[in-house]
Structure 1
Amino acid sequence: MAHDHEGPLARLRRGHEELVLRQLRTHGPLSRGELGRLTGLSRTTLYDIVAALIDGGAVVAAVPAAAERRRGRPVETLSLHPGAGQAIGIDFARRAVHVAAVNVAHEVIGSASAPHGAGLTWGKRVDLAARLVGGLAGGTLRLGSLSGIGVGVVGPVHDAPTTDASTPDTPAPGTSGAERADSLEGASRPHEDLPVLLRKRFGVPVLLDNNTRLAALAEATWGAAAGVQDVLYLRLSHGVGGGLVVGGALHRGAHGLSGEFGHITAEPGGRRCSCGKDGCLETVASIGAVLDAHPAAGDLAGFLAALPVDPAARRVLDDVGTRVGTVLAAVCNAVGPHVTVLGGELAEAGPALFEPVERALSAHLMPVSRPGIDLRPATLGEVGGALGAIALVLHDSPLLTRYQTPNSVE
């Protein structure tokens, strides 16, 4: 028979410690005041717990550099000890692998990417990811007390992220026939097999989600909307999709289909979409749709280069921006985000895209919401999915329940 050698006060204190550690793991550096609001602990209890965690080496305190300070007494911030462990994120995009590593203090250690052919098997993609991870931080990475890998994949992930994630071999609703073949080549059940392959390779739990949705979480954690609790993210690429961060957490939806903004009707009676509907936003705002509307450009680079001198290219993008802004306004009216982030390769068009998007947003938002329009370009680029996969570990993983002090880290 097992005996509990901890008394009720010791168990209560341990619970308070884990509560503080969980908030620092999820949110990154926080002031004592922010920690108090998030944990609900009294000032006396919080200060006592924080002092013990600092003495034990699990938490470090820092004062902002002189250039970052505001008037008055500098506010000390608290974070998990950077040496306590790292988390790895991997984004298995359609024809590339992106990896990143972040320590438990939310400091980005490094990132890397490599393209691959469409026929590469999942086993070889995992090998490629392992080589990229091995090159981060000079090969000195160690997972330590936060042992976990977050993984982004193309297509819907129907179940909540888990090491044993198992979902049907279903491609993203917005992919074309060729893209669907790309996403499925090399494995009969990629979402089922991938966590098993990664767990075997790295020996740690694997958390899985859609890579575009993870990019939304990354932008809300490290990118254009860092620290914002309610974020709407839209990515305009070969497909059109996005994600919602609500109350600081990623919203997945009941069936893992949250963020499918590319399949909101933007042109009633328009072109048939690969999802089976007509006139979806993806049929007018994806890279392929833009090039179909202006074939003289040849490719995206040619289209972007033509924008300053080609009125026809600008008209195409103006129409795209209007459609995008109209759809975004409908979503904003429904969910009320603090910040809307626009990313993907098409967003590299800059003001030529953002200006018509903002005009349509203003025209279709409720009047009371118009002064609060905050449309921002994404900042993390192609590594966003991998960073979002790390944020998934930091937000959702219960892996830091037994923290290690620097002296105990191998």
Structure 2
Amino acid sequence: MTAAGPVPEPVDQLAVRRINLSRTLRHIRVNGPGSRAAIAAGTGLHKTTVSSLVEELLARRLVRETGLERSGTAGRPGRGVALSPQLGAVGIEINVDYLAVHGCDLTGRTVVERRLAFDVRRRDVDGCLADLAAAADRALTELAGRGVTPVGLTVAVPGLVDVARGVVVVAPNLGWRDVPVVSRLAAGLDPALQVGVDNDANLAALAEHTWGVAAGTDDLVYLTGSVGVGGGAITGGRLLRGADGFSGEIGHLPVEPDGDPCGCGRTGCWETKVGLAELVRRITPEFAYGLGDGPVPDPRERVAEVRRRLDARDPAALDAVAGIGRWLGHGGAILVNLFNPRVVVLGGYFADLADHLIPAAQAQLTRLAMASPADRCHFVASDLGFTAAARGGAGAVIERMIDDPSAVPSG
């Protein structure tokens, strides 16, 4: 201590440079291509500093130079700087009846995307991880074959995930408990590749916030519409994770204490009222989950059959979907009262049947929410489909690149 106060700590120049690299790259991502002078003006950094930062980002293949751009009315035009399509990432979602794969480059351009029928019932954990590894290897190879070097991979799982340890703590609908997904997958992949795992709804919420119908909305809730129902909440522009990272298990909100048994071992959970398994059981019981020994249908096939019956004005189908819509609004009102979002984004099968579900759901929300939801919050259908979580997985890798560009090796 001195008379003037504490002796200041030495400034960590490497940390400052990492922050400024991220600041520069994020500015380009948000504002699009621009000259070095325009980047300096937008970030508040000195022009000489920006030039040095851009040179490093070029060496790491995170940006590329474009044509000449003029940043003002005076002076010579400079070369523009834009995000590079040379680097990219892969996201893979595993669910009860499908695998979804999404690969994109740093600009967000989709390079690889597919959804595969997948029956968890016929595989133990080792079999599932082997199939995941094979799907990852194919996607990474395809991405590289199209001129995009993959930097990382994120797996999306419907369950509680310890992100820091890379472990799925419990995924009731998959039958998983304490599965070390990251270490198991990383063992068979390039050691330089970043591998992660996260909750599917959290990743889908991030994808919606970045690319979806509610992109840029800083307060939103995303609902998965699959066999299970999960949710991701964006509050103040940031994903809400909770103390242990386990927030978002909204499908297990107890809404009917004496209701049907749930895969989590409890009764009356919200997903027993609005999950895809309940929809199928009520409208097409002959194709219910858990029946038959043949190949499991893709979820879109199940929804297509429900749609056909709705279009034919089948009374049982219309009644069942209206009931699910009301329960959707019931649970939605709880979420609106908790998080005060501007929008509730419906994913998965909810989006496919949104024209039938939203009217009943919105009416119930209006009746039960404390705020004025008709004016302040509404349901919207996602346009990212069943690959939203996989897209979010790839996006999580890209976000890490932007947060710390210095972690990306020079090309």
TM-score (norm 2): 0.75
Runs of 4+ in 1 over 6 A off after TM superposition: 7-10
2:397 corresponds, among 377, 381, 393, to: 393
Distance 1:391 1:133 in 2: 15
> How is 1:90-101 mapped onto 2 (pairs within 5 angstroms)?
90-101=92-103
CA contact (8 A) 1:53 1:59 kept: no
- 1:51-101 superposed Cα distances (whole Å, 9 cap, x missing partner): 5545664546889xxxxxxxxxxxxx9753333x21222223334332222
Residues 1:114 and 1:129: Cα distance change in structure 2 (over 3 Å): farther
1:125 corresponds, among 132, 154, 176, to: 132
Distance 1:116 1:338 in 2: 35
Residues 1:318 and 1:205: Cα distance change in structure 2 (over 3 Å): same
Residues 1:201 and 1:366: Cα distance change in structure 2 (over 3 Å): same
Distance 1:287 1:365 in 2: 25
CA contact (8 A) 1:199 1:206 kept: no
Aligned to 2:369: 365
Aligned to 2:115: 113
The question of 1:192 aligning with 2:180 is answered: yes
Aligned to 1:18: 21
Aligned to 1:72: none
CA apart distance, 1:24: 4.7
Distance 2:195 2:180 in 1: 12
For 1:142, the aligned partner's letter is T
The question of 1:267 aligning with 2:268 is answered: no
Aligned residues: 361
Aligned to 2:222: 233
For 2:270, the aligned partner's letter is L
For 1:132, the aligned partner's letter is A
Distance 1:269 1:121 in 2: 34
CA contact (8 A) 1:165 1:195 kept: yes
**Is the partner of 1:332 in helix, strand or coil?**
helix
Residues 1:209 and 1:22: Cα distance change in structure 2 (over 3 Å): farther
Aligned to 2:4: none
**Is the partner of 1:135 in helix, strand or coil?**
helix
Distance 1:220 1:78 in 2: 25
CA contact (8 A) 2:84 2:107 kept: yes
Distance 1:282 1:108 in 2: 31
CA apart distance, 1:240: 1.4
- 1:364-403 superposed Cα distances (whole Å, 9 cap, x missing partner): 2234443122321111112212111122223346552256
Distance 1:256 1:249 in 2: 13
CA contact (8 A) 2:182 2:197 kept: no
CA contact (8 A) 2:182 2:195 kept: no
CA contact (8 A) 2:167 2:182 kept: no
Aligned to 1:244: 233
- 1:165-216 superposed Cα distances (whole Å, 9 cap, x missing partner): 2354x223xx3xxx52xxx4xxx85x31443323531322212101232122
Aligned to 1:334: 338
Distance 1:344 1:167 in 2: 22
Distance 1:271 1:233 in 2: 24
Aligned-pair identity in percent equals 26
For 1:106, the aligned partner's letter is G
Distance 2:66 2:215 in 1: 20
Distance 1:240 1:234 in 2: 7
Residues 1:86 and 1:369: Cα distance change in structure 2 (over 3 Å): same
Aligned to 2:149: 142
Structure 1, gaps ≥5 residues long? 1-6, 34-38, 64-76
Distance 1:286 1:154 in 2: 13
2:90 corresponds, among 66, 88, 91, to: 88
Aligned to 1:288: 277
- 1:23-43 superposed Cα distances (whole Å, 9 cap, x missing partner): 358xx332699xxxxx9x986
For 2:45, the aligned partner's letter is T
The question of 1:156 aligning with 2:145 is answered: no
For 2:90, the aligned partner's letter is I
Residues 1:402 and 1:253: Cα distance change in structure 2 (over 3 Å): closer
2:310 corresponds, among 294, 307, 310, to: 307
**Is the partner of 1:227 in helix, strand or coil?**
coil
Structure 2, gaps ≥5 residues long? 1-9, 68-79, 288-301
CA apart distance, 1:335: 0.8
Residues 1:45 and 1:270: Cα distance change in structure 2 (over 3 Å): same
CA contact (8 A) 1:99 1:133 kept: no
CA contact (8 A) 2:98 2:118 kept: yes
Distance 1:338 1:269 in 2: 32
